[in-house]
Amino acid sequence: MADVLIRRGISGLPSVPRQGDRGNYPYEAITVAKVLWAAGVTVEFEDSKPERDYHTHDSADIWLPVIEFATDVGKDLVVAAVTAVITRYIVKRQDGANPPAPEEVTPQAI
């Protein structure tokens, strides 16, 4: 019996099925298994070696959604800043100067 059992499946990639004739494993599982073997830990895979397929994560899987989100936030910030500048410019042109401060009202005793 092994100390560690590496099960089939790749977290973060739902498009890679966990069921099927061949087991899908992340490519990094090989490195993890070697490090554990070197430390004296017995490691086994859920599938035998000829029945395994290894897959790698492409950086695009992670970074494209992050870049898309950052671009959307950046666009929103630029649009908000430009809108604020235009609004201030229009208000100053219409008033000619800053509007007067409201008068202070002091309560009167009855």
> What is the predicted pLDDT for the residue at 67?
79
Give the best-scoring range by mean pLDDT among 25-34, 48-57, 91-100.
Answer: 25-34
Q: CB neighbours (10 Å) of residue 80?
A: 10
Q: Is the pLDDT of residue 29 over 70?
A: yes
pTM passes above 0.75: no
User: Residue 81 pLDDT more than 80?
Assistant: yes
Sequence-distant (≥ 6) Cβ neighbours of residue 42 within 8 angstroms? 1, 2, 3, 4
Where are the strands (E) in the chain, listed by range?
4-6, 23-26, 43-45, 52-55
Identify which has the larger pLDDT, 51 or 61.
Answer: 51
End-to-end Cα, the chain, rounded Å: 94
pLDDT of amino acid 26: 83
